[in-house]
Every structure is written in structure tokens, then in C-alpha cells.
């Protein structure tokens, strides 16, 4: 049974996962057994009732009550049993315990942002304490995304203009991958993240260290911090730093250059142009590119934007 599970499913790392997997196994194993039983019966009947002589005539059989009741009642009982079990697991998965730790999740093309109750925030990495229920309250800044952690067996759509929620309890420390599982545009497949599960005290330390949210860590220069922000906010999935052309213009040698715009005019790439392009990317589109970048207004603080601009300046 474990081999079967290892083949089909990722490791089970949340409290609902085991119950969920048992149901999954039951549905698959019972389907497999029934399929084999039906195939065996078909083969048996093919051989037993094959035509044996030229003048053999098939008898007329109108119906068989006992047989018809059997093949209706047995599957009905089986399906009701699976429904009852599934409903119980569903209730488990949709009712967070009252003492759950809450994290606010914002999805946008193409990243995940997490905000914690003490003002700390993180992008791409969700930090949680081990062995404690965590409830995520989620919404989207643009289109529909879906929050999926296969290791936890949880998946929930994240919708603009309303809140949805999902909860989990990961008993062990470690990391699990977050996927976006609702097609949301060019970089949907890169819209991943990870859940980092800490020991309780380690988690408190992380929270305290990140309480400042959008301020620069003391040990980094603005440009170094900018580089870190670029990774966290996934800017590098569309903008290369080595001249490679991706979805958006490369940043190599961009600062100070003259760029032709889609309206036929030209712009000098200075601090003001970069700032505008981060906050309202649609305002002045570089020729040859599509207006696909999401606005970072309200996502990045002024200090963070300055750091990213400092970083871009270093890419000569």
C-alpha cells in the first residue's frame, strides 16, 4: 500500500493529508478491484457461453430481479460510503480550528505575498510555525489564481475582489512547494513559492526580525537589497540582467540609455522613468513589448523602489 502511495502521491506533510490519502487509496483500489472483477467475469462468460454448435439458439431472457437489485444496491452502498467519508474529510479541510494563526495572502501576476499580524511581510516564501494550525486569508490583485500545496493536499482559488481561505497544520519542520494552479497568463508556470515550516521559537525570531516589513536590512547596501527584492518579487522572470530577451526588456545597460517607445517617441531611462515603469508599467511601453506587466503600486514601498533602481544602475 505504501508503495502505491509513494508512486502516486507527494509526501504527506499536513494533518489532513493522511485521511485524504486513505480515501484516495480506497477509491482507487476499489475501482481497480471492481475493474478486474468485471473483466474476469466478461472473460469467463465469453468462454463459458461461446457458440458451440451451428444450430445453437440463444434463449430469450427478459430480466432477473435478484441480479438487477444486486448490481444496483452494491454500488449504491459503496458510493454512499465514499460520499460519507469524503464529506467528513471535506468538513475537516474547510473548518479551521479557532486558534489558527492567520496570514494574509495576496496573489498577483506572478507572485505570492504574505503579510503577518505583526506587520512582517514576505514574497514567495510563506513562513509558518510547525504543529500549529495556520489559516490563510487570500485575495488577488488582478486575475484568478489558485493556491496549491501538493504536500499538504490543499488547493483554493484566489479571486480578485473577495476573500477565500484555506487552512493547514504542518507537524514537521521543512519546506514544501506552492504552485499556482489556475492559468493566469504568461508566467503562470513560474508562479511558485514555498512554505517554510519553522520550530515555534525559530518562527517567532523570524517574525520579529521581519517586523519592519519594507525597510532595508542593515548589512546590505541599497543595490544589494534591490537585487534581493528583484528575486523576491520575481522581476527576474521577465527581465534578465545579462542581455537575454525575455517577456520584458533586459536591464543590462538600460540605465541612461535612449529607448524607443511604442507611440513613436523616445525616452531616456532615468530614475523617473524606472519609477513610473514599476508603479504604472502601462504608461510608456518600450517598442516591441506588450503591456503585460502588473502595476506594483501599493506592493513596493518608496524605499524598495529606490533600492531596485540602485540595483538596475549597477547592471552595465
Cα separation values, 35 from 4, 14, 28, 42, 140, Å: 17, 32, 10, 11, 43
> Which span sits near ligand CUA by CB under 6 A: 8-16, 181-189, 228-236, 265-273?
181-189
Minimum CB distance to ligand CUA, residue 199 (Å): 31
Return the number of the residue (45 or 183) whose C-beta is nearest ligand CUA. Answer: 183
Return the number of the residue (182 or 227) whose C-beta is nearest ligand CUA. Answer: 182
> Which span sits near ligand CUA by CB under 6 A: 27-35, 183-191, 250-258, 290-298?
183-191
Minimum CB distance to ligand CUA, residue 281 (Å): 17
**Is the CA virtual torsion 278, 281, 284, 288 positive or negative?**
positive
Q: Residue 222 phi/psi, 5° resolution?
A: -55, -40
Based on the shown chain and the rule CB under 6 A, indicate whether residue 132 belongs to the binding site for ligand CUA: no
> Which span sits near ligand CUA by CB under 6 A: 9-17, 38-46, 47-55, 178-186?
178-186
Based on the shown chain and the rule CB under 6 A, indicate whether residue 178 belongs to the binding site for ligand CUA: no
Return the number of the residue (135 or 188) whose C-beta is nearest ligand CUA. Answer: 188
Q: Which of 105, 180, 278, 300 binds ligand CUA (CB under 6 A)?
A: 180
Half-sphere exposure of 127 (CA within 13 A, CB side): 21
Minimum CB distance to ligand CUA, residue 112 (Å): 9
Contact 107, 180 (CB under 8 A): yes
Return the number of the residue (86 or 294) whose C-beta is nearest ligand CUA. Answer: 294
**Cα 153 to Cα 9: distance, rounded to the nearest angstrom:** 10
> Which span sits near ligand CUA by CB under 6 A: 35-43, 94-102, 118-126, 184-192?
184-192
Based on the shown chain and the rule CB under 6 A, indicate whether residue 113 belongs to the binding site for ligand CUA: no
Q: What is the dihedral of CA 229, 301, 128, 200, to 10 degrees?
A: 100
Minimum CB distance to ligand CUA, residue 241 (Å): 24
* Footprint on residues 186-205 left by ligand CUA (CB under 6 A): 188, 191
Based on the shown chain and the rule CB under 6 A, indicate whether residue 182 belongs to the binding site for ligand CUA: yes
**Is the CA virtual torsion 99, 100, 103, 108 positive or negative?**
negative
Contacts with ligand CUA by CB under 6 A: the residue count is: 8
User: What number of other Cβ atoms are within 10 A of residue 201's Cβ?
Assistant: 9
Q: Which of 144, 163, 167 is nearest to 155 (CA)?
A: 167
DSSP 141: S
Minimum CB distance to ligand CUA, residue 166 (Å): 15
Query: By three-state DSSP, how is residue 106 classified?
Result: strand
Q: Residue 154 phi/psi, 5° resolution?
A: -120, 145
DSSP 58: P
Based on the shown chain and the rule CB under 6 A, indicate whether residue 145 belongs to the binding site for ligand CUA: yes
Residues of this chain that bind ligand CUA (CB under 6 A): 110, 145, 180, 182-184, 188, 191
Amino acid at each position: 500500500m505504501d508503495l502505491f502511495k509513494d508512486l502516486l502521491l507527494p509526501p504527506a506533510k499536513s494533518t489532513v493529508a493522511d485521511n485524504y490519502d486513505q480515501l484516495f487509496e480506497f477509491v482507487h483500489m476499489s475501482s481497480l478491484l471492481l475493474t478486474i472483477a468485471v473483466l474476469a467475469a466478461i472473460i469467463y462468460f465469453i468462454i463459458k457461453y461461446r457458440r458451440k454448435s451451428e444450430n445453437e439458439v440463444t434463449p430469450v431472457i427478459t430480466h432477473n430481479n435478484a441480479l438487477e437489485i444486486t448490481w444496483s444496491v452494491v454500488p449504491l452502498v459503496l458510493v454512499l460510503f465514499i460520499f460519507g467519508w469524503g464529506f467528513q474529510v471535506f468538513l475537516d479541510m474547510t473548518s479551521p480550528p479557532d486558534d489558527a494563526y492567520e496570514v494574509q495572502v495576496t496573489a498577483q501576476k506572478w507572485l505570492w505575498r504574505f503579510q503577518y499580524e505583526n506587520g512582517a511581510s514576505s514574497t514567495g516564501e510563506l513562513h509558518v510555525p510547525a504543529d500549529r494550525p495556520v489559516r490563510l486569508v487570500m485575495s488577488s490583485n488582478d486575475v484568478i489564481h489558485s493556491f496549491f500545496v501538493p504536500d499538504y493536499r490543499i488547493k483554493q482559488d484566489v479571486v480578485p475582489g473577495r476573500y477565500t481561505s484555506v487552512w493547514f497544520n504542518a507537524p514537521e519542520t521543512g519546506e514544501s512547494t506552492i504552485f499556482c494552479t489556475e492559468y493566469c497568463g504568461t508566467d503562470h508556470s513560474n508562479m511558485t513559492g514555498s512554505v517554510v515550516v519553522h520550530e515555534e521559537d525559530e518562527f517567532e525570531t523570524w517574525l520579529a526580525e521581519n517586523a519592519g516589513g519594507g525597510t532595508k536590512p542593515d548589512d546590505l547596501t541599497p543595490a544589494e537589497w534591490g537585487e534581493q527584492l528583484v528575486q523576491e518579487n520575481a522581476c527576474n522572470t521577465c527581465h534578465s540582467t545579462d542581455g537575454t530577451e525575455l517577456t520584458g526588456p533586459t536591464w543590462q545597460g538600460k540605465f541612461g540609455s535612449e529607448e524607443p517607445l511604442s507611440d513613436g517617441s523616445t525616452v531616456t531611462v532615468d530614475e523617473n522613468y524606472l519609477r513610473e515603469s514599476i508603479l504604472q508599467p502601462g504608461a510608456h511601453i518600450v517598442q516591441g513589448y506588450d503591456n503585460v506587466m502588473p502595476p506594483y503600486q501599493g506592493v513596493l514601498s518608496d524605499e524598495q523602489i529606490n533600492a531596485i533602481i540602485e540595483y538596475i544602475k549597477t547592471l552595465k
